[in-house]
Amino acid sequence: MKVKRKRKEGDSFMRKSSTPWLIFAALAILLFAPDLCGAGETPERRITLEECIALAEANHPSLEEARANLAVQQAKMGQVKSENALKGTLSAGGSGRTGSDESYSAAFSVSKLLTDSGKNTLERKRQALSIDSAAEAGRETLLALHKNVKDAYYGLLLALLKRDQAESAVQTYRKHLVQARGFYEAGARALFDVTKAEVDLSTAMITLVTAEKVLGTARAALSRAVGVDLEEVRPATNFRPVQPLPEEDFALVQALENRPDIRTSRLRSESGKLSVSLAAKGNAATVSLSGSSSLTGTDLPPDDTFSLSVNLSVPVFDGGLTKGRISEARASLSAAEASERQTVQTVRFEVRSSLLSVREAEARISAAELLLRQAEENLILAEGRYETGVGSVLEVADATLAFTSAEVGLLQARADYSTSLADLEKTLGGEFE
């Protein structure tokens, strides 16, 4: 419903006095129109979504960081394993003093931890969980990277289509202007029709300039998401078609099984349990074997000695250190388990929210398609009425604006559906096949 503004006495003066300026503005924009349109004709290299994802996987710094973090945890496992490895030390030296013979010495010693009551075994298990957690963090980074690339890719596609649509609208308004001038020169229409067409064309040109700016920003966003400068590219992959969606219960099961953050929270809980067991081993006994061989003397060959020993170490009291470590480990375990429950609740919300977003976008596509068909039919009727002298220029302008808005609405609905589907895939922890 439109509200019709009441005419005031000063309206006719404002129209008459502003008409020359409006005509001048329209002519100025028309003068530079070839340059603006020529900018859209620059050859653009076509690129698919799969190519963008492959480039991101090969070049994005976030994945390099994730791989480095995984390598750190794997290196720590080697350090843990070295605790039970055979260790050896070789030393040699010589000395001499005034009035005495020179002396020489050489020694080689080895040691091996025979048992630490299972502490190293627990350390290995806990570090293996840390490696798994780092791997899941890397997978979560990969899923987020895919989502960002898809968002930027569909954003660029939308910006390009809007730019193309804005160029088409400029051509339509140019045609209206030529038509209005022809009618005016023939005496069939008033000067108001020409002025209205000029204003509409000026507005369309401004919209085109804005669309070009948005397009440049979208190109930069895709380059940032991929990790390399893509320069002038045009998406070769269209928006995703409407496809069947999983039921919420099934989607939730998939998310709880596949999402990296769920797996990471479970690994933290398991690691917390191992930390409690490890802290309880603070007073456990250790048994180690050590041996040494040495050569000492002032003459060659020097005297040799050999020793072998088995050492048993049993902590008697530690001032409550082990008890404190057990309490700390149990508190950390409780926090990890609470975090796991909270993550599950978050996943439940995100699954439901993502499904609703996809369904809402799907419904908007159907409504936008119907609206576009109606707007196109209305535009055809309005232009036909104007050409036969029955309709008015305002009727054509309103119909053109409605058709343009319907086109943009359909493009936006398809883009929203594609990005919502990408968000659902990330929420479920994988991609639809």
Across 172-190, average pLDDT: 86
Q: What is the distance between the alpha carbons of residues 254 and 350, in angstroms, rounded to a whole number?
A: 13
The pLDDT value recorded for residue 21 is 39
User: Averaged over 165-185, what is the pLDDT?
Assistant: 89
Q: What is the pLDDT of residue 97?
A: 65
- Among residues 69, 214, 88, 237, the alpha carbon closest in space to that of 138 is found at 69
Between residues 143 and 118, the one the model is more confident about: 143
pLDDT tens-digit map of 131-148: 999 999 999 999 999 999
Q: Predicted confidence band at 118 (pLDDT cuts at 50, 70, 90)?
A: confident
pLDDT class for 15, splitting at 50, 70, 90?
very low
Enumerate the H helices of 288-320 as residue ranges: none
pLDDT, tens digit (0-9, with 9 covering 90-100), for 333-348? 999 999 999 999 999 9
Span 296-312, average pLDDT: 75
pLDDT tens track for 204-255: 999 999 999 999 999 999 999 999 998 789 999 999 999 999 999 999 999 9
Q: 29 falls in which pLDDT band (50, 70, 90)?
A: very low
Q: Count of H helices and E strands in the chain?
A: 9, 6
Q: Calculate mean pLDDT across residues 168-196.
A: 87
Selected residue with higher pLDDT from 309 and 341: 341
Mind listing the domains of the chain with CATH numbers?
52-93+102-428 (1.20.1600.10)
Angle, helices 248-258/321-387, rounded to nearest 10 degrees: 130
Highest mean pLDDT among 179-183, 296-300, 303-307: 179-183
Residue 272 makes CB contacts below 8 A (sequence gap 6+) with 329, 332, 333, 336, 337
pLDDT confidence of residue 304:
73
The label of the residue with tokens 């507005």 reads 203
**Residue whose C-alpha is closest to residue 148's, from 226, 32, 74:** 226
Percent of the residues in the chain that have a pLDDT greater than 90, as a whole number:
56
Q: How far is it, in rounded angstroms, from Cα 289 to Cα 160?
A: 73
Instruction: Convert the pLDDT of each residue in 225-238 to its tens digit.
Output: 999 998 789 999 99
Q: Write down the residue that tokens 């036909």 correspond to.
A: 384
**Percentage of residues of the chain with pLDDT beyond 70:** 86
Query: How does residue 24 score in pLDDT terms, banded at 50, 70 and 90?
Result: very low
Distance of alpha carbon 178 from alpha carbon 185, whole angstroms: 11
The answer to whether residue 102 scores a pLDDT higher than 80 is: no
Q: How confident is the model at residue 101 (pLDDT cuts 50, 70, 90)?
A: low
* 158-167, 243-252, 301-310: the lowest-pLDDT one: 301-310
Task: Give me the pLDDT at residue 61, please.
Answer: 93
Rounded to whole angstroms, the Cα distance separating 230 from 208 reads 23
> From CA 62, how far away is CA 148, in angstroms rounded?
12
Residue 380 pLDDT = 92
Integer Cα distance of 81 and 88 in angstroms: 16
Helix (H, G, I), strand (E, B) or coil at 159: helix
CA angle 63, 69, 72 (to 5 degrees): 145
Task: Tokens for 306, please give them.
Answer: 């050999």
Spatial contact of 109 and 278, defined as CB atoms under 8 Å apart = no
Whether 152 shows a pLDDT value over 60: the answer reads yes
Per-residue pLDDT, averaged over 168-190, amounts to 87
| Band of residue 96 on the pLDDT scale cut at 50, 70, 90 | low
Q: What is the mean pLDDT of the chain?
A: 84
- What are the percentages of helix, strand and coil residues in the chain, rounded to 5? 70, 10, 20
